[in-house]
């Protein structure tokens, strides 16, 4: 019932194919593939980048933000990355690896791209790892946060400009351990990889800091509309705070129901930053005010790069940027730095150059470095407050730097 045979995605895919065929035709008529003419070191040539983002399904809003971030960077850098003129080819990641991995394979084989950027879903990222390793093309992930992507399942071609799932939870665990809420903390997260990784990371730092877990619940992922059955366990557990990891539609339902059942005023709510990030915050409305979250970005971070970024983003798209836009902006930023140094556009050369970029100083999230192949950056403690134009995540304090 839930998986129609003829999905909308297939239809979109057909249109996509037609579009790509047209693009390929143009390329060949000009003569010379992009990768062929780009052996010169340090620029002068062209580079073909495959941007793999969801254009259909539940992650579509993230895909829009990511494309905005990417486009904005190129627009402000004359369409160049590290001296190469950029041609962007978009692939539709869809919701999961069943569409995400073929999209990547298509970009590699059919479009012969030099570098790949994007990927929202961690399972797609893990599936893509093999494909990019076999083709020796660099993939710069601009969302997917599973620790394994750049941990156990790492290969030299996968780099991440976003975050890993453990960081925000670990930072919040340390913070709550220092706050010592009376009665301990109640944990809730959806029952899938990201939720489980969050649990592990939070417990490691929170219990390591002397805190006690009052109770926990893993809710069925994607099928939970009503959190009441799980929420009803919180008052009885005696918890003095609740820490959760939810995003998208679940974040909206959760935050509203948390307030609706009267818990917001009695047991303060903490979360990973995705709980109140982007369009979900608007939908949550009043119920979200006062929630504290940890994340590597907020529009309210006070540094010149962020001020400039937020202003340009708002001017271009008339909305506040999200962490997803920043992550894709940063993917472009690190490629810009790396390509300037890369000997050529081969995966090995680009990967080596990415390893040598050092500190990325002018990111909107503040300066960060690669720790292994994933970012080491500051986690910010944020609180939802009423701003001039709606709800915003105000930065309360910096929780310190966290790496892989």
Judged by the rule CB under 8 A, the positions of this chain that interact with other proteins are 1-2, 4, 6-8, 57-58, 60-61, 191, 217-220, 223-226, 228-230, 232-233, 236, 248-249, 252-253, 256-257, 259-263, 279-280, 282-285
- Shortest distance (Å) from residue 219 CB to other proteins: 7
User: Please, are residues 224 and 250 in contact by the beta-carbon 8 Å criterion?
Assistant: yes
Residue number, 217 or 310, with CB nearest to other proteins: 217
Separate counts of helices (H) and strands (E) for the chain: 13, 14
Residue number, 1 or 30, with CB nearest to other proteins: 1
- Shortest distance (Å) from residue 3 CB to other proteins: 9
CA 106, CA 127: separation in Å to the nearest integer?
A: 14
- Shortest distance (Å) from residue 103 CB to other proteins: 18
Residue number, 61 or 372, with CB nearest to other proteins: 61
Residues 6+ apart with CB under 8 A from 285: 256, 391
3-state SS class at 160: strand
Residue number, 259 or 326, with CB nearest to other proteins: 259
- Shortest distance (Å) from residue 252 CB to other proteins: 5
- Shortest distance (Å) from residue 4 CB to other proteins: 6
- Shortest distance (Å) from residue 168 CB to other proteins: 21
Farthest-apart Cα atoms in the chain, separation:
71
Structure-block tokens of residue 29:
């008529």
CA 362, CA 365: separation in Å to the nearest integer?
A: 8
User: Please, are residues 293 and 247 in contact by the beta-carbon 8 Å criterion?
Assistant: no
Residue number, 58 or 394, with CB nearest to other proteins: 58
Residue number, 257 or 306, with CB nearest to other proteins: 257
Residue number, 276 or 374, with CB nearest to other proteins: 276
Residue number, 251 or 338, with CB nearest to other proteins: 251
CA 360, CA 26: separation in Å to the nearest integer?
A: 36
CA 205, CA 200: separation in Å to the nearest integer?
A: 9
The number of beta carbons lying within 10 Å of the beta carbon of residue 33 is 16
- Span between the terminal Cα atoms of the chain, in Å: 40
Residues 6+ apart with CB under 8 A from 53: 62, 63, 66, 67, 90, 91, 92, 93, 118, 120
Half-sphere exposure of 278 (CA within 13 A, CB side): 20
Strand 84-92 with 80-81, pairing: antiparallel
- Shortest distance (Å) from residue 113 CB to other proteins: 26
User: Please, are residues 143 and 120 in contact by the beta-carbon 8 Å criterion?
Assistant: yes
- Shortest distance (Å) from residue 246 CB to other proteins: 12
- Shortest distance (Å) from residue 163 CB to other proteins: 22
Residue number, 178 or 232, with CB nearest to other proteins: 232
Residue number, 2 or 29, with CB nearest to other proteins: 2
CA 86, CA 250: separation in Å to the nearest integer?
A: 37
CA 58, CA 11: separation in Å to the nearest integer?
A: 17
- Shortest distance (Å) from residue 172 CB to other proteins: 23
Strand 369-371 with 390-402, pairing: unpaired
- Shortest distance (Å) from residue 95 CB to other proteins: 10
CA 250, CA 179: separation in Å to the nearest integer?
A: 27
Residue number, 56 or 174, with CB nearest to other proteins: 56
> Quick one: the chain helix, strand, coil %, rounded to 5?
45, 20, 35
Burial class (CB in 10 A: 0-12, 13-18, 19+), 26: exposed
């Amino acid at each position: 019932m839930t998986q129609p045979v003829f999905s909308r995605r297939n239809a979109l895919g057909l249109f996509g194919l037609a579009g790509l065929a047209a693009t390929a035709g143009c390329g060949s008529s000009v003569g010379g593939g992009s990768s062929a003419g780009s052996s010169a070191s340090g620029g002068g040539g062209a580079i073909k980048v495959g941007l793999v983002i969801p254009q259909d399904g539940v992650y579509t809003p993230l895909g829009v933000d990511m494309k905005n971030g990417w486009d904005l960077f190129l627009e402000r850098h004359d369409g160049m990355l590290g001296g190469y003129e950029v041609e962007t080819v978009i692939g539709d990641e869809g919701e999961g690896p069943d569409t995400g991995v073929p999209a990547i394979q298509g970009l590699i084989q059919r479009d012969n791209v030099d570098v790949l950027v994007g990927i929202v879903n961690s399972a797609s990222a893990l599936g893509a790892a093999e494909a990019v390793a076999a083709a020796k093309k660099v993939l710069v992930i601009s969302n997917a946060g599973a620790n394994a992507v750049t941990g156990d399942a790492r290969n030299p071609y996968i780099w991440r400009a976003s975050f890993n799932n453990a960081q925000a939870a670990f930072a919040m665990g340390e913070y709550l351990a220092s706050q010592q809420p009376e009665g301990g903390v109640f944990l809730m997260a959806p029952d899938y990889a990201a939720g489980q990784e969050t649990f592990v990371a939070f417990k490691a730092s929170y219990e390591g800091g002397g805190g006690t877990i009052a109770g926990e619940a893993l809710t069925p992922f994607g099928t939970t509309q009503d959190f009441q059955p799980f929420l009803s366990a919180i008052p009885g557990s005696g918890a003095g705070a609740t820490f959760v990891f939810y995003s998208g539609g679940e974040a909206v339902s959760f935050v509203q129901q948390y307030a609706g059942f009267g818990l917001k005023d009695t047991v303060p709510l903490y979360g990973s930053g995705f709980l109140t990030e982007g369009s979900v915050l608007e939908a949550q409305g009043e119920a979200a005010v006062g929630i504290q979250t940890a994340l590597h970005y907020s529009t309210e971070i006070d540094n010149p790069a962020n001020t400039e970024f937020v202003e340009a983003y708002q001017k271009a798209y008339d909305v506040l940027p999200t962490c997803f836009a920043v992550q894709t902006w940063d993917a472009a930023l690190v490629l810009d730095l790396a390509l300037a140094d890369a000997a050529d556009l081969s995966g090995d050369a680009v990967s080596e150059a990415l390893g040598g970029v050092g500190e990325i100083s002018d990111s909107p999230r503040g300066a960060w470095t690669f720790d292994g192949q994933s970012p080491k950056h500051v986690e910010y403690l944020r609180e939802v407050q009423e701003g001039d134009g709606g709800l915003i995540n105000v930065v309360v304090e910096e929780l310190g730097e966290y790496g892989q």
